[in-house]
Copies of this chain bind each other. A is one copy, B any other.
């Protein structure tokens, strides 16, 4: 019952998932790997006994590949996902689903035409224990209707290559997905404020940024994105409702008292913060595959929304204006009214 998994893209995250599916999560076996760099593919494939194939299309069509994992460069995602749909094979695509809203819509069209969900997008926060508890609290009605969400996404530093647009496209995209899911609501407008920039950044970078989202139901979200905060990797989220609030916990850590201070460690990278979420994400996806179920995680529609909303956020940053996200109506196939 082991799922044969074909991996397209053996870069950092691809290798990470190959390790995960081999040593941490049961139920799958890596059977084929490709990468634009053949040596890199070989290096990833050999230790797990997988074949190296010459391109993504070969991986998708290989007999020993039951499901496809797309971890290549973002601009190539759409092609591989469309291939997988054409082959009728389940496909897990790391974010983004595609780098343009247009390509996301093509995938949606193809999936609807196929008539069954094949695509899952890699937004792992939905599998984080804290966010899941938060969703339970919200859904239980314990805090009443949500009105406001306060968030912060802080990284200690980023490399020179990180651009101002990436604050939305690569960083805030996680909050965009998880908040849509938490609130069961859609983001309809976006705005970006730029505080005085930190001196500890690349000269070209606007950091920090404050993103302001409004949802269809009128919930207001403020999200601080600060990718050179120095002190640690820190994810904060607080949802305020009509009768109370719910707040994400800090990761637990021993408390130490010495020299007049009570201290606990703050994490310094996202691996420590979301490793369990990644494991759970794949564990549930593979269990679903093994059971023959459609995937229940972030859908192609969610991938489209994330791409469209973060693109609008980049436009908001660059224009200084409030930008409407102008999402298409959600098709009935994805639980929408249209």
**Which residues does chain B contribute within 8 Å of A41, judged by CB atoms?**
none
Q: A137-B254, A244-B231, A244-B257 are in contact. Are A195 and B218 (CB under 8 A)?
A: yes
Q: Residue A296 at the B interface, CB < 8 A?
A: no
Within the oligomer, what is the number of copies of this chain? 4
* A234: B residues at CB distance < 8 A: 257
A217 at the interface (CB under 8 A from B): yes
Given the known A-B contacts A26-B26, A230-B242, A242-B198, are A261 and B265 also in contact in the complex, defined by CB atoms under 8 Å? Answer: yes
A148 at the B interface (CB under 8 A): yes
B contact residues around A193 at 8 Å (CB): 212, 214, 220
Nearest CB on B from A329, distance (A): 21
Mark contacts of A226-261 with chain B using CB atoms, 8 A cut-off: 1 yes-contact digit, 0 otherwise: 100111101000001011111111111111111111
Does chain B have a CB within 8 A of A319? no
Q: Which of A72-80, A139-147, A298-306, A307-315 contacts B (4 or more CB under 8 A)?
A: A139-147
**How many of A's residues come within 8 Å of B, CB to CB?**
71
Q: In this complex, what residue of B is CB-closest to A267?
A: B260
Residues of B within 8 A of A266 (CB): 257, 260-262
Interchain CA distance A133-B226 in the complex, whole Å:
24
A196-B224 contact given A240-B208, A262-B264, A263-B262, CB 8 Å threshold: no
A200 contacts B by Cβ under 8 Å: yes
How many Å lie between the Cα of A229 and that of B239 in the bound state? 12
| Smallest Cβ-Cβ distance to A251: which chain B residue | B252
The residue on B at minimum CB distance from A195 is B220
